[in-house]
């Protein structure tokens, strides 16, 4: 990408999109295109087509979509399936029609089998049953990953690049007890408990499942790296992670320490755990020269500081 290349960041106000904007601006890219949902509904192809025809973006980072935790995915599976597939299909088709140079698409670690061998390699995709609580969202993401490969194969191009980051967190995340992913939900939950001087906080499940977390700005760096080294990429998806996982129980205690919540932490064993472990093998992408830079402890403090300043939910 040149410094004046036309770069469209879809979902620029969200967790990953805002990190992409920050990193692109830090690197001196001057021609970044954004649209709010009110200005452009990516689930409507007519609007997407007009936007691409008028703006002719050369590079696209598709960070737009809908995502949520266990509660959101189990109560609204059709919503997560339909909206994400609609956005992917529309943006992919417009990117191909108007000959975008490169488009970065993002999968999710939930695409892999619930009981996958660990750490999870890219080749394990579709090798077993998906975790039921995130099935609809995962199917949408799998469709997007396969679409990237299919476009590239059929038209003999390397336009579409699929990255699969593990659980992202950071500024501009959704901090909500019911609809967020576990890390941001815990930050909100412990902050509320601290403010209410609660003597005990009850969390879902056993706390035993292990998860890998990656700071949003690290994924943004990986995305820019992928575009700048696109000629070295194969027509496949690449895992993007830290190579380090932590139990939900340990994560909870880490967040409680950052928030300075000193009450008791209990676990509701009647509630679901989700997949027992999701640790990605990111060695193929790392072999190209990329490496994450933000440790979990540092990222937690940055995320919490942003949460306090913005008091969002």
Catalytic residues: 137
10 Å CB burial of residue 156 (0-12, 13-18, 19+) is exposed
CA distance 31 to 27: 12
Tokens of 53: 């025809």
Query: Which residues are within 8 A (CB) of 126 and not within 5 positions of it... i.e. 6 or more apart?
Result: 113, 142
| CA-to-CA separations, 167 to 108, 131, 243, in angstroms, rounded | 8, 15, 12
- In three-state secondary structure terms, 103 is strand
Number of H helices and number of E strands within the chain? 10, 12
CA angle 110, 57, 219 (to 5 degrees): 35
Q: What residues contact residue 300 under an 8 Å CB cut-off, 6+ apart?
A: 169, 183, 187, 254, 255, 258
Which tokens sit at 225? 């790296």
């Amino acid at each position: 990408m040149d410094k004046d290349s036309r770069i469209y960041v879809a979902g620029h106000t969200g967790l990953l999109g805002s990190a992409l904007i920050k990193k692109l601006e830090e690197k001196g890219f001057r021609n970044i295109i954004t649209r709010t949902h009110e200005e452009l509904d990516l689930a409507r192809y007519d609007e997407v087509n007009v936007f691409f025809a008028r703006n002719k973006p050369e590079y696209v980072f598709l960070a737009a979509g809908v995502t949520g935790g266990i509660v959101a995915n189990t109560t609204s599976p059709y919503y997560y399936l339909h909206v994400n597939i609609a956005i992917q299909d529309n943006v992919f088709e417009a990117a191909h029609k108007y000959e975008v140079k490169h488009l970065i698409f993002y999968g999710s670690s939930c695409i892999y089998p619930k009981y996958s061998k660990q750490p999870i390699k890219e080749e394990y995709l579709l090798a077993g049953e998906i975790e039921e609580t995130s099935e609809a969202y995962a199917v949408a993401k799998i469709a997007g990953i396969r679409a990237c490969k299919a476009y590239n194969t059929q038209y003999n191009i390397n336009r579409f690049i699929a990255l699969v980051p593990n659980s992202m967190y950071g500024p501009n995340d959704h901090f909500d007890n019911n609809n967020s992913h576990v890390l941001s939900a815990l930050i909100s939950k412990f902050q509320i408990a601290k403010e209410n001087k609660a003597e005990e906080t009850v969390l879902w499940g056993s706390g035993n499942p292990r998860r890998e977390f990656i700071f949003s700005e690290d994924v943004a760096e990986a995305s820019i790296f992928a575009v700048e080294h696109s000629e070295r990429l194969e027509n496949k998806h690449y895992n993007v992670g830290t190579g380090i996982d932590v139990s939900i129980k340990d994560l909870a205690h880490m967040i409680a320490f950052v928030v300075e919540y000193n009450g008791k932490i209990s676990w509701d064993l009647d509630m679901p755990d989700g997949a027992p472990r999701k640790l990605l093998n990111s060695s193929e992408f790392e072999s190209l020269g990329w490496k994450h830079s933000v440790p979990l402890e540092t990222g937690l403090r940055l995320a919490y500081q942003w949460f306090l300043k913005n008091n969002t939910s």
